[in-house]
Chain A
Amino acid sequence: MRTRLLAVVVVAALALAGCTSDSSTTTAVSGPLCDELPKGDEPGNPTALASEPVDQALQWITVLTTFEGALRASELVPELEGKKAITVLAPSDDAFMAKFSQDNLDELMIKDKDTLRTLLRAHIVDRSLSLADLRDADSVTTLDGTTVKVGEADKMARIGDEATTVCADYRIANGRVHVINHVLGNLPTTAGQGDSGH
């Protein structure tokens, strides 16, 4: 059975950890997870993604495989790429594992795509918001129509009641991607249920 517990790691004094550069041509991302993601001149580094459409950019952020697959399955990509600007609040694979059982996730991705679309819309805002914007704002409205409280959380941004950004400020062709550590929306938690061993 896949059971995972998550602890939130908050790094107070970690300003723009490891991912910044003095060069104005590079893209700065920030957050405690950034140093574990492609960086510098590695394939998939933040600068290399800055002009990529959302579906391509997501394929390089290693901790977003569940979100990336779900977005493809949802068939929302053309709609998102047609928007002038978007912000994607993308839960990490660990966040998905803590939220949904394997069976539940397959159900959403294969059979219940309406629910999947609603879930994904709860993670997307139709304007481009930087980390600073999220920290400064009181709330944002996601594409599913939900108003989500946001604000500061040390050097990161808090999203809703549980989530914080863990690597923020990826730029993509039409907006921003922030990796977050909890799944948003109102679906029930099913992690730990069902038969998900080998």
Chain B
Amino acid sequence: MRTVRLTGTDVLIKTGSPHLEVPLNHRRSTVIAISALLAATFAPVVTSTSAFAAPLPAFAAAEPNQVTDLTVTQADGFATVAWTPVPGVTDYQIERTAVDASNAPTGTPTVVGVWRPNRQVNNEEPTFADAGFNPGSRFQWRVRARIGTAEQPYSSPVFDTTKAPWGDPAVAGQNLRTQWETTQAAQYTSDVNEYAYTAEVDRLSERVRVVEIGRTVQNRPINMFVIGYPTPPATPAAVAATSPLAVNCNVHGNEPGDREACLIMARQLAFSNDARTLGLLKNTTVLIVPTINGDGRAANTRGNVTGQDLNRDYSLIRQPETAAYVRMLRDYRPVAGYDGHEYGNSQAGDLPMLPPRHQNVAQQIFDESLDMIENHMYVEGAKDGWWACPYGCANGSGVGLSEETILRNTLGLKNTVNSLLELRSSGGATRPDEGNTANNRRRKTFSALWTFNQFMDYHHNQLSDIKTARGEAIEFQAGNNGRIVFRGSRIVPLHPAPHPGEAGPREDLPTPDMILDNAPCAYKLTEAQYNGARTDGPNDVGATVAERIAAHGWKVVKVADGYVVPLAQPERGLIPLLLDEQGEEEWVSGERVYPTLTGRHNGPLTISGFACLSGATVNGPVNLRPGATLVATNTTISGPVNAANAAGVFFGDSVVRGPLQVANTNGPVTVIGTNVSGPVNLVNNTNGAAPYFAGNSVSGPLNCAGNSTAPTNLEVRNVVNGPRAGQCATL
């Protein structure tokens, strides 16, 4: 370490580390270290209290290199500081000083940030989101440029009062506050306080229904806000029909910053009457799970009470918390998601984000997720002053990889556009390091609140694109297309300049042992594999594979000697990762079932038992005998298809030139991405969950009747040139 003597005997600072544990802030002088400046460029600001007492008159001509046109715009928990760039300078320092109502300083001037070119994607209009103050306080801001480390003159000051905590104290509902707010961020909101707050939001707002989606190991409720306007749809299926979006706020118990933002956002959505909020809620439903890991939050542990990291369990669902979330995803079908975390890497920007990279995620979902991050978050961040960046940013080579156990990837494998969100919990390149102080908590929480609000705007503005991507992804997956990758990521290309020196997450390409080029048609499980007792849950008791498959919502066919899970369904990317022996973290080693017909078949085809047609061509009628199962992907059938009393019927990415009749199936029915030239009849299918009929093109009438559960299109519309009738009238 190097000792720097700054001002005589006043201050000793030992540098040589990217971190100072605390900003120095005391009465005689102010010294704030911006840690990224490191030893080489370390340039503390020393300002005597007399130096800023006389602001420049407004009419004063700008001095050379003086920042001009300073503006400060107030938002919830932060202020956007903006100015006209000075040509040729290295960076800018943003200074804030507490002032009273008459603008007399009441605190010491503090450099609260450094703007440098890689903070935002456009450099023509620099902005800096200043946060980390008690909302409602009044401040003076000034900005100055630096050339190298040489400080140029400060701008004229701007005085303003920051926005008070959201909600009119005189209006019921709006006046609710969390424990975190009432303690001025000295304490996080406790479990009990969360439940009370949640119940009051629920009670006082017609827009809100709070649903308990499960319980933790220690029996804490896992609540979800379901928010719509004027009221949220009544059932999960009705919510799904609105293409909802979901925010998961607190999976790691010791990363609580996002959760506080979620609780505030729930209040805003419940009680705000501004046009934007109402516009959002009229068109969709917002799902907010504030605390999936209530036990870990209460104990301040990363994992749940068993020590399991829940964000390594969303595919495996060994724990009740993750199982609850996955069942929610099955029932509510959010089309987009965010997953909130905190991150200690000081090299990161304000808000590291990352799309689902696992190579089994459909390309469309990856692309749309990256679009959300780069073309919305980066762009809006540049307007409001927040620095969104790729997860990793620098020194992040070990993170952001392809584990399907991580919600980001699990969601992608469920065809949900989504991103990870990290809140930088330590100091960094452009912010002072304030440790776990109230001000740093506020910075994290209000940056999360900004992100989640932007997420809602993105969903609102881009819903058509999101739905298109999701629909194409579901059709791609149900067609059992492409190789299987068990572990391995897509490359996240670095955003073009100006992000010099930034590093995204490492390549993480699949190794050969993690690739299966010849994808099977299905996996077959034995009775013991499917229904056998498991020991991989809390207290050595785990749910059966059958129960976990049901939680994910996969279709399973009961056959004489076991259970068959065809890949011709929407979660095709996820199924092999849990049922193939080659998987990195699989439940069981299911038997790979390969196609029974891949070439041409001329003449009638009668199916008994299990048949899998992959890339096949059948010139003739296809008949399923009672108890038979047909799985057809990338297959063309010229002739009618008639399934009566079958055990299961799966069509993905196929063509049927003739009528399609599926009746009295005693098992799953799914028809996705298939072109049918002729009438379609789905009738009296009485066993199993809702038949899937999604993303198909039908030249003829579509009729559904007598099915024990009405068929669903999974919010992927069918094109039907004919009347739609009965249970399929709206598909």
Contacts and interface: CB of A to CB of B under 8 A. Distances in A.
Interface stretch (B23-31, B66-74, B584-592, B650-658): B23-31
A36 B25 contact: yes
Contacts of A22: none
A36 B435 contact: yes
Given A6-B19, A69-B299, A72-B299, A97 B344 contact: yes
A9 B422 CA distance: 27
By secondary structure, the B interface counts as loop
Contacts of A72: 299
A151 B275 CA distance: 62
A2 B344 contact: yes
Contacts of A17: 26-27
B24 A9 contact: yes
A177 B399 CA distance: 37
A9 B22 contact: yes
A17 B29 CA distance: 11
Interface string A1-42: 111111111111110011000000000000011011110001
Interface of A: 1-14, 17-18, 32-33, 35-38, 42-44, 59-60, 62-63, 65-66, 68-69, 72-73, 92-94, 97, 102-103, 105-107, 109-111, 154, 166, 181, 195-198
Contacts of B9: 12-13
Given A3-B395, A97-B344, 17 more contacts: A6-B19, A9-B14, A11-B24, A13-B9, A17-B26, A18-B26, A33-B21, A36-B438, A37-B437, A43-B183, A60-B183, A62-B186, A63-B435, A102-B302, A105-B302, A110-B299, A197-B399
A18 B30 CA distance: 12
Contacts of A66: 254, 300
B692 interface: no
B184 A33 contact: no
A44 B14 contact: no
B18 interface: yes
Interface of B: 1, 9-28, 182-188, 254, 299-303, 305-307, 309, 311-312, 339, 341, 343-346, 354, 391, 395-396, 398-401, 406, 408, 420, 422, 426, 434-439, 441
A104 B398 CA distance: 18
A103 B346 CA distance: 20
B398 A7 contact: no
Contact of A1 (B18, B184, B300, B396): B396
10 contacts: A1-B399, A6-B17, A7-B14, A9-B22, A12-B11, A13-B10, A17-B26, A33-B435, A69-B301, A198-B391
A45 to B, nearest CB: 9
A157 B434 CA distance: 21
Contacts of A5: 17-19
A110 B399 contact: no
A69 B422 CA distance: 23
B294 to A, nearest CB: 14
B437 A198 contact: no
B343 A65 contact: no
Contacts of A93: 435-436
Contacts of A105: 301-302
Contact of B344 (A4, A103, A107): A4
Contacts of A14: 11, 24, 26
Contact of B435 (A3, A94, A102, A196): A94
A93 B344 CA distance: 11
A2 B412 CA distance: 25
Nearest to B420: A198
Contacts of B182: 43
Contact of A198 (B184, B311, B346): B311
Best-surrounded residue of A18, A63, A105, A154 (most CB of chain B within 10 A): A63
Contact of B343 (A2, A68, A109): A2
A37 B21 CA distance: 13
B575 to A, nearest CB: 24
Contacts of B436: 62-63, 65, 92-94
Contact of A32 (B19, B22, B396): B22
Given A7-B14, A94-B436, A38 B299 contact: no
Contacts of B301: 69, 105-106, 109-110
Contacts of B18: 5
A159 to B, nearest CB: 15
Given A38-B438, A198-B399, A11 B303 contact: no
Contacts of A59: 187
Nearest to A95: B21
A36 B345 contact: no
Contacts of A44: 183, 186-187
A65 B435 contact: no
Contacts of A103: 302
